[in-house]
Structure formats: C-alpha cells, structure tokens
Amino acid sequence: MSIDRPTAQTILITGGAGFIGSHLASALVDDNEVRILDNLSSGKRANVPEAATLIEGDLRDAATLERATADVDLIFHEAALVSVQGSVEAPLTSHSINATATLEVLEAARREDARVVLASSAAIYGHPEEVPIAEADPKTPASPYGIDKLAIDHYARRYNELYGLETVALRYFNAYGPGQTAGDYSGVISIFCDQAIDDEPITVHGDGDQTRDFVFIDDIVQANLKAATTEQVGTAYNVGTGTSVTVQELAETIVDVTESNSEITHTEGRDGDIRHSQADISVIRSELGYEPTVSLREGLKQTVEWYRQH
Ligand code: UD2
C-alpha cells in the first residue's frame, strides 16, 4: 500500500495561485517544499500560502519553466485556460496554453525525472451517449478546450509507456468550492451563490433538467494527493462524486442554504450545453482508494460561507 500524500518532496504546482492549485498548495506546504508557477492572469497572489514560493511568469516561456522545474520531484499541472467559450473564440490560444505548454511540462518532467499529476477534464467526453461515464467510454470533445485536454490526457499516458515517466491524468467533473471566483466563465455554483446572496434572480439556462456531477474542492485535492503517491501510473481517472443533480435542484438547494429571497428564473438554453454528466468513479475508487467525502449540501454551505466573507 502506498501512503496517501507526498512528504519531504520538492513540488511544483503550475496554476498554484488559482482555485484548484492554491487548495493543493495549502494541503502540501507543511510537509514539502512547494513552488508555484502562475502568471496571475486569473490566479491571485493572495491565494498563495505564505510558506510557498511564487514564481510569477508564463508557462510558455522556456527559461521560466526551466527555473520552475529545476530539481523538482513532483509536478501538479493545474495551469490552464479554463474557459470553454474562450477556447471556441480563440482555439490557437487555447491550444498553446492547454496543449503545447503541457507538452513542455512533460518534457521538463522527463529532464528532471519528476512525476506529473495533471488536470484533464470531463470535457474530453463531449456529449456522452450514456451516464455514468466510465474512463473507457467514447471521447468526442465538443470544444477546442476538450480537444486540447484529450490530447494531453493521451500524451500523459503515452509518456509513461514511451519514456517511463510517472504520470497520472485526473479528469475533473464540475469542481466547486471556496475560492472559485464568479465571472462570465466560472462555474454555475459560483454564479448562483452570488445571485442568491444578493437576492437577485437565479438564472437557470433552459429547463433546468440538465444534470451535473459537482465535486467539492477537498475531494479534488484528495484525488491529487493519492495520484501523487500511487503505484498506478500511466493512468487516467475520473474525479467526481459518482452522483448528479439537476441544475434546477442545485438552484433550489442554494436558495435554501443561503435563505435567499431570490426567484429562480429560466433563460434561453445555452448553445452546445451538455445534457447529462455524471462520473463513474469505480476505477479511481478501487485503484486509488478515492472516496468522496463532502455532500453537495455540506460543500455548498462551506462555499456560501466563503462568498459571504469575500
Ligand atoms: C464544466 C467546466 C468546463 C468543462 C466541462 C466538462 C466550468 C466553468 N466549466 O462545464 O471547463 O470541464 O464542465 O464537462 O467549470 N448554468 C445555468 N445558469 C448559469 C450558468 C450555468 O443554468 O448562470 C448551467 C449551464 O447551462 C450548464 C450547467 O449550469 O447546464 C453547468 O454549467 P457550467 O458552466 O458550470 O459547467 P459545464 O458543465 O458547462
């Protein structure tokens, strides 16, 4: 049995000032030397734990990446352009950050003989034929973002086969939690929480019967820590809860948790919206011992608390 978290390692977290990367940094910083590479385009300096070292710069700059990866044992690659819509508007930009720069990270890891745990996405599955979605199911990404994530998911696994690099790709479903900032391209939970706290109408797109598997940040972190120490490398795992809720139910739960006076309204359906999404987590459960620990209601309570304070 492997231990469940890295200790006494030199660790690089790309995107470590962002939502997922900064939570990961907080979980690791007491027992490891943690370095963060972030260009602060969407991440924030304030998210970086005091004991971590921030290298402010671009992943795509060779000298910066070389400095950031010097002598590392382990890399968590979370830096990305996370906007699906943005990738539709600027596919080349998405490709250069989400795909090419990730290949550079894998090359750097080869030079350093470092393990890489990288952020893949449920977006690689596109519109699934059925749910829950298992790792081996068809991959028909519906956006440049999904295509780029699928490319790096493949690269990560082939780098293990071709060069013996230790890699694990984590296919995140809908991540949420404290620190996820509301904006045009952020997740529905951050948008609904802001609306509910301000007693503004909640904007459900379409009929609200579409479903998602919302996974709390603590469980995303748990999956990363397990991926960092497992012997099962050259692999890719779904990270979700294995359950789903409708967007309508989500809106109602947020109104309830915030004790809001917001009305739930319905707007036009969103172009290209995926109807149903739910992870099959049986493989990550059996191979990594991953188990979701935070229910949607509990996760929403913690998230709402954070939004109230910020
Ligand atoms: C998420 C990820 C995306 C990709 C994908 C994989 C985010 C922001 N996006 O896309 O990067 O990984 O999953 O499948 O995390 N909605 C409303 N009202 C709003 C906003 C959204 O009803 O004001 C609906 C939206 O139409 C969709 C659902 O909420 O049906 C979830 O939307 P989302 O943008 O949070 O995430 P998703 O699943 O499209």
Position in ligand 1 atom list of the atom nearest CA 125: 14
Q: Is the peptide bond before 141 cis (omega within 30 degrees of 0)?
A: no
- Distances, alpha carbon 146 to alpha carbons 120, 168, 256, 272, in Å: 9, 18, 33, 13
Ligand 1 atom 13, closest CA: 174
Which of 135, 127, 97, 99 minimizes the C-alpha distance to 234? Answer: 135
Cβ(214)–Cβ(277) below 8 Å: no
Q: How far apart are CA 43 and CA 39, in angstroms?
A: 8
CA of 189 to the centre of ligand 1 (A): 9
> Which amino acid is residue 10, in one-letter code?
T
- pLDDT of amino acid 260: 98
- pLDDT of amino acid 185: 67
CA of 211 to the centre of ligand 1 (A): 10
Q: Which of 125, 145, 172, 237 is catalytic?
A: 145
CB of residue 203 inside a 6 A radius of ligand 1:
yes
- pLDDT of amino acid 161: 98
Cβ(213)–Cβ(277) below 8 Å: yes
- pLDDT of amino acid 77: 98
Cβ(9)–Cβ(33) below 8 Å: yes
pLDDT band at 181 (very low <50, low <70, confident <90, very high): confident
Q: Where are the domains of the chain?
A: 10-125+133-176+214-240
Tell me the mean pLDDT in the region 90-114.
Answer: 98
pLDDT band at 184 (very low <50, low <70, confident <90, very high): low
- Distances, alpha carbon 168 to alpha carbons 214, 226, 298, in Å: 21, 10, 29
Tell me the mean pLDDT in the region 75-89.
Answer: 94
Q: How far apart are CA 281 and CA 130, in angstroms?
A: 15
CA of 187 to the centre of ligand 1 (A): 6
pLDDT band at 1 (very low <50, low <70, confident <90, very high): very low
- Distances, alpha carbon 309 to alpha carbons 15, 37, 90, 177, in Å: 24, 27, 34, 14
For the record, the structure tokens of 101 come out as 């720069």
Cβ contacts of 187 within 8 Å, gap of 6 or more: 174, 175, 176, 180
Q: How many helices (H) and strands (E) does the chain have?
A: 11, 13
Q: How far apart are CA 82 and CA 22, in angstroms?
A: 15
CB of residue 42 inside a 6 A radius of ligand 1:
no
Q: Best substitution site from 188, 191, 273 to test ligand 1's pocket, by max atoms within 8 Å of Cβ?
A: 188
CB of residue 84 inside a 6 A radius of ligand 1:
yes
Considering just the CA atoms, what is the radius of gyration of the chain in Å? Answer: 19
Q: Report the percent of the chain where pLDDT is more than 90.
A: 95
CB of residue 121 inside a 6 A radius of ligand 1:
yes
Ligand 1 atom 6, closest CA: 123
- pLDDT of amino acid 4: 83
Residue pLDDT, tens place only, 244-264: 999 999 999 999 999 999 999
Is 145 catalytic? The answer is yes
Position in ligand 1 atom list of the atom nearest CA 123: 6
Sign of CA dihedral 199, 203, 209, 212: negative
Q: Where does 10-125+133-176+214-240 sit in CATH, by number?
A: 3.40.50.720
Inform me whether the pLDDT recorded for 232 exceeds 60.
yes
Residue pLDDT, tens place only, 11-66: 999 999 999 999 999 999 999 999 999 999 999 999 999 999 999 999 999 999 99
Matching residue, tokens 């992870």: 279
pLDDT band at 186 (very low <50, low <70, confident <90, very high): confident
- pLDDT of amino acid 182: 63
Please state the pTM of the whole predicted model.
0.97
**DSSP-assigned beta bridge partners for residue 192:** none
Task: Please provide the average confidence, as pLDDT, over all residues in the chain.
Answer: 96
Tell me the mean pLDDT in the region 232-241.
Answer: 98
SS3 134: coil
CA of 224 to the centre of ligand 1 (A): 22
Ligand 1 atom 21, closest CA: 188
Residue pLDDT, tens place only, 203-230: 999 999 999 999 999 999 999 999 999 9
